[in-house]
Structure 1
Amino acid sequence: MQWANFLAKEAATNGLSLEQTAAFARYFKTENLGKNEAKLASELKVDIAAFRKWIGEVYDKFAQNYPELAISNSRNKLQKLQAFLSAKYNSELDILKPLAAMKLLKTLVVRERLQQKAWFARRICKFLGYLPLALELVGRYLDKIPDLSLETLLKRLEKKRVEHEPVVNANSLISYEYGVAEAFELNWEQLDENAQSFGCLLSLCALADIPLSVETIEDDQKQQLNKKAIDDLLELHLLQQKSKGIYRLNPLIRQLFQMKLDQSSEADEAKTKFAAMMLEVAKLIPQQPNPEDILNLTPHIPHIAEVATNLSQYLGDENLITLFTKLAWFYQSQGLYQQAETWLQQCVELTQNRLGLEHADVATSLSNLALLYESTGRYSEAEPLLEQALELRKRLLGEENTDVATNLSYLALIYESTGRYSEAEPLYQQALELWKRLVGEEHPNVATSLNNLAALYCYTRRYSEAEPLLKQALKLRKRLLGEEHIDVGTSLNNLAQLYESTGRYSEAEPLYQQALELSKRLLGNNHPDVAISLNNLAALYRYRGRYRKAKPLFEQALKICERTLGISHPTTMTVRTNYTSFLREVYN
């Protein structure tokens, strides 16, 4: 396969737009690798800002399908993508020398069988384009039919080429795939209907490792059928096993299985089934996944993303928002806000187009995107989305609704974050009273509303009003959610801040320490909430003159913020300001 053709295939596979494809192909074209961005942009007749935007979007789309690309700083993204593409290209297509091809075939087929018909063996290698994948497929086919002569095999391959040629032309497949296509056709015929259907179902997975665990299937008969299908596919080299429970489809095999599926009457049924399977996995993603959750869910993310990108039409309207929101939670929890934003923006667009502008799920998708903007300090972008969502919910659901109560709190948070305390307070109070009326006093959302209103009182130095609310919220959360919950950590931090603000440092310190350890256990060491806890404890040590304890905590907090939020995020700037002020105080 030529490099340009490979890039075109990758662009199509990853759903790049026309503009993104043009920038992608231009940037990674072999003869352009030494050129600067300005030159490449001029060749496309666009300004450099648009070119950089397209290239950034290209990386994000690849990162959605390949989680290993998502963890990368901005300075080495394109180098990392170049290395990834090069490795993928080389793994897909290793054309052998004729002698090397014969040598490979000899390892796959009984030597005597080849020696008797060496001339036919050489013709078969040539026919297959000296491609290792095609040779491997043919070797497995011969092993399956021990009495088949090489002459008959060659005739079957030639016949398949004649049959396959119109399909190849119709699908714009390039010439190097011919050998693989014919070998695939022969092996396909060796599969029973169950294995054929299973292979087609797997082809709907993303081009990534596929986690398969038949042991978790409760139906014994279905478990045996799936196990046999996997064994049959492995035997014919139509599926590769990387490790226990982890498999992979070669990109070309995946494409050929997809063609088989699209030609069958079962295509819609299979795609609906696969979309439903990935939806069930997506539902396992919590809003705040801990490190163990992330580790367990990571192998499934490319396949969930594949459904969101290419098969969302096979999800029911009632499930549409769930898939995108869960993907966003997965990335947002790790501080990968750009990836999360992409999914939430797609969710807004898709729900509006599919459900219409007057739908409750549209309000939810607007609210989810707004909350991401709020968490990254983009308040001016968040506010109109929340106002739009609130009006939509009131209109569709009425004033007395839990979604309205939630929306009131979110909008109040924006007002609070932008210093508009007099606008925030009545919204927090409305939300608290509404929650009490709707769900009663003993509910986690009542605790959250208490905490929110108390935090506002703290910002406005109304500590005597804030303290009983914070204590009530903490007690309620522990009782309803248990000690090991992130909301308990938030309450601990807020109560500690109140104690610190009122000079009760000995009471504040153990609460800050508890909140820090809890956030580390639940979120891992590299999360913005951990940075906030570190900053809070460092600030307390600073005010008490314990500088040796404060300095490493400030440094850790700043490093985490810069890595996860970026250098210009409000939280990063606050932590940096605190650290700079601390250094001036200590060393001047």
Structure 2
Amino acid sequence: MERQIASASRSVEEARRLAYHDPIRVGALVEQISVLADLRQKEGDFRKAESLYREALFRAQELRKQDPDLLTGIYSLLAHLYDRWGRMDKAAEFYELALKISAENGLEESDKVATIKNNLAMIFKQLRKFERAEGYYCEALETFQRLDGEQSARVASVYNNLGVLYYSHMDVDRAQVMHERALAIRQNLHEGQMDPADLSQTFINLGAVYKAAGDFQKAEACVDRAKRIRAAMNGYHPNPRRSASLLIDKSL
């Protein structure tokens, strides 16, 4: 981790230097900052991560011609940070700020906004605001279906999250439908489109649903499959981002 942080820090310094001389490179600076901030969060240093994202926000706000898409993304990155930090009210506030900026600039139908709605729904689930959570999940799902079609990793992720939401309210039948839809999609995705961690999570969630429904044989088979998938996974390599990534609810 120390070596990754040192490398990411050098990349941020170089991106700062380039952005100072050429404001159009601020977006590239945000990407490098996101990598370093992810690593800081991984080691539990949320304050340093917050400071990095605040720097990104300041640099984006001081541009002569502001980029609403970039600002939306930075607000979502801060929201994602506060979520991981356990500051749910602050996370909701920044996701809603991101949605406000996007609405004011005609960006409502973008995949970035759909991602924000998905993530905000997870926050409202944790705050026990079921109807608002379900509403944002459904809006995100509709946008991803329109942009990607049904057979999409992002559509599968929102189905997963709806399944977890319904399970949390002991609506086992609807939870099962959502998780089975997610599994059907993920099992048919090409290797480059499918994250093994997501597929493993689907099996874990389905296992919990089958157990709740009394089908213990299916539940055990799902858990075993999830274990085999996870055994083949390794490493943590954050990717450069200009906005929050799509969150998958793993709270079952």
Asked whether the two chains share a fold, i.e. TM above 0.5, the reply is yes
Larger radius of gyration: 1
Instruction: Give the number of equivalent residue pairs.
Output: 233
User: Does residue 539 of the first structure (1) align with residue 208 of the second (2)?
Assistant: yes
Q: What is the percentage of aligned positions where both structures have the same residue?
A: 27
CA contact (8 A) 1:520 1:530 kept: yes
Structure 1 counterpart of 2:225, which letter?
Q
Distance 1:474 1:353, change over 3 A: same
Match of 1:554 in 2: 223
Cα distance in 2 between the residues matched to 1:550 and 1:379:
37
C-alpha offsets along residues 457-504 of structure 1, whole Å, 9 cap, x if unaligned?
111111022112211221122112212222211211111111111222
User: Does residue 467 of the first structure (1) align with residue 134 of the second (2)?
Assistant: yes
Deviation of 1:530 (Å): 1.6
Match of 1:300 in 2: none
Cα distance in 2 between the residues matched to 1:526 and 1:556:
15
CA contact (8 A) 1:435 1:446 kept: yes
SS in 2 for 1:396: coil
Match of 1:527 in 2: 196
Cα distance in 1 between the residues matched to 2:37 and 2:186:
24
Distance 1:355 1:413, change over 3 A: closer
Cα distance in 1 between the residues matched to 2:159 and 2:43:
23
Deviation of 1:408 (Å): 0.8
Cα distance in 2 between the residues matched to 1:464 and 1:517:
26
In structure 1, stretches of 5+ residues that fail to align are 1-52, 58-337, 568-573, 579-588
**Normalising by structure 1, what TM-score?**
0.35
Match of 1:506 in 2: 173
Distance 1:535 1:450, change over 3 A: same
Q: How is 1:196-235 mapped onto 2 (pairs within 5 angstroms)?
A: none
Deviation of 1:512 (Å): 0.8
User: Does residue 391 of the first structure (1) align with residue 58 of the second (2)?
Assistant: yes
Structure 2 counterpart of 1:413, which letter?
H
Between 1 and 2, higher relative CO (CA 8 Å, sep ≥ 6) is seen in: 2
Cα distance in 2 between the residues matched to 1:467 and 1:558:
30
Match of 1:451 in 2: 118
CA contact (8 A) 1:379 1:414 kept: no
SS in 2 for 1:522: coil
SS in 1 for 2:105: helix
In structure 2, stretches of 5+ residues that fail to align are 237-248
> Given the alignment, which residue of 419, 426, 447 partners 2:93?
426
Cα distance in 2 between the residues matched to 1:379 and 1:550:
37
Match of 1:405 in 2: 72
User: Does residue 348 of the first structure (1) align with residue 15 of the second (2)?
Assistant: no
Match of 2:233 in 1: 564
Match of 2:159 in 1: 492
**Normalising by structure 2, what TM-score?**
0.76
Cα distance in 2 between the residues matched to 1:345 and 1:536:
37
C-alpha offsets along residues 305-342 of structure 1, whole Å, 9 cap, x if unaligned?
xxxxxxxxxxxxxxxxxxxxxxxxxxxxxxxxx7xx78
Cα distance in 2 between the residues matched to 1:343 and 1:515:
37
> Given the alignment, which residue of 109, 115, 119 partners 1:442?
109
CA contact (8 A) 1:393 1:403 kept: yes
Cα distance in 2 between the residues matched to 1:528 and 1:368:
20
Q: Cα RMSD over matched residues?
A: 3.3
SS in 1 for 2:214: coil
Distance 1:481 1:397, change over 3 A: farther
Cα distance in 2 between the residues matched to 1:386 and 1:559:
37
Cα distance in 2 between the residues matched to 1:345 and 1:518:
38
C-alpha offsets along residues 545-571 of structure 1, whole Å, 9 cap, x if unaligned?
32222223223334444543569xxxx
Distance 1:413 1:354, change over 3 A: closer
Cα distance in 1 between the residues matched to 2:127 and 2:79:
14
CA contact (8 A) 1:408 1:431 kept: yes
Cα distance in 2 between the residues matched to 1:428 and 1:502:
24
CA contact (8 A) 1:400 1:434 kept: no
Deviation of 1:452 (Å): 1.9
SS in 2 for 1:503: coil
Cα distance in 2 between the residues matched to 1:542 and 1:342:
46
Cα distance in 2 between the residues matched to 1:355 and 1:399:
15
